[in-house]
Amino acid sequence: MIKYSSEVVAAIKSATPIVALESTIISHGLPRPQNLEVALEVEKIVRENGATPATIALIDGVIHVGLEADELNRIANDDKVVKASTRDLAIIEATKQSAATTVAATSHIAHLAGIKVFATGGLGGVHRGHSYDESADLHALGEISIVIVCAGVKSILDVSGTLERLESFAIPVLGYQTNKFPGFYLTDSGFEIEHRVNSPAEIAAIWANRIALASDNCAIVVANPVVNQMNPELHDKVLTSGLAAAQTSHITGKAVTPFLLEYFHRESAGESLRVNIDIIKSNAKLAAQIACAL
């Protein structure tokens, strides 16, 4: 049920490190043609740091772990590519659609393929004002043993509520060289992280200890703050107006996040886009280093 790219097949045969990469950021998170350029550069960064990139997506109902050049181009440019979470995978397969995978779906497929490390931008979480409305990402990470490198949760969400849910699911959160929980566009969301790590080797040791203690039934979240954050005043201004615009336009449910991300890109004059790209590149580099340490 899974098709592997030639590069991933070679990595599996040689037992060398592999890093899973999500495809939603390519199909729905970045504008064209920059999305394809960034996807190629992120894969290059993973290779330069000693690991093999495995971008995950579904093409014509087939799960792909690692994409060939023409397949990556299709995910980046085909308007018919939908977004798929874990609940959608069997349906997408049966209907032979093409889909980019969310954090939840990418984690699930990576785990099926035996991949231990996954790099993404920001996690989904609890939506502002709706404690019952939360991303499937949280539930997936509560059940899947994988190291996920991210820049915290998207700042458009309820960060406090999301951290509470991560604690409820017993998902450890490690601040990479920080005790501040990052807020995606911002290096500091205003919340503390209890546990700090300073190297990929420390993360590898924690991974090994979890296996020995049989506490490895969920993900490890590595929160890696972006180095050059968005101007906080600009961020808060755009967020406030974006939330108001979403309410005025009656944007609800899973449509809120893409609406606000697009709003940020437009109203920040490209500043949020720059930070978004910096985030995925930084996280891909760290994920590759962790995969090598494991």
Which of 22, 43, 71, 134 is catalytic? The answer is: 22
The bridge status of strand 62-65 relative to strand 52-59 is antiparallel
Contact 55, 47 (CB under 8 A): no
* Confidence label for 1 from pLDDT (cuts 50, 70 and 90): confident
Both tokens assigned to 107: 């984690």
How many Cβ atoms from other residues are within 10 Å of residue 33's Cβ? 10
The bridge status of strand 99-101 relative to strand 52-59 is antiparallel
Percentages helix, strand, coil for the chain, rounded to the nearest 5? Answer: 50, 20, 30
* Confidence label for 134 from pLDDT (cuts 50, 70 and 90): confident
80 counts as catalytic: no
Mean pLDDT of 239-251: 90
Q: Which of 154, 212, 167 is nearest to 193 (CA)?
A: 167
More confident: 258 or 50: 50
Domains of the chain: 1-115 (3.40.1790.10), 123-294 (3.40.1790.10)
Q: What average pLDDT does the chain have?
A: 93
262 counts as catalytic: no
SS3 111: helix
pLDDT of 196-221, one tens digit each?
Answer: 999 999 999 999 999 999 999 999 99
Which of 43, 83, 116, 154 is catalytic? The answer is: 154
Q: Collect all residues with Cβ–Cβ distance below 8 Å to 214 and sequence separation of at least 6.
A: none
Evaluate if residue 255 carries a pLDDT over 80.
no
> What is the pLDDT at residue 130?
63
CB crowding 52-89: b at 16 or more within 10 Å, else e: bbbbbbbbeeebbbbbeeebbebbbeeeebebbbbebb
Both tokens assigned to 54: 């495995």
Both tokens assigned to 157: 């969400």
Between CA 162 and CA 166 the distance in angstroms is 6
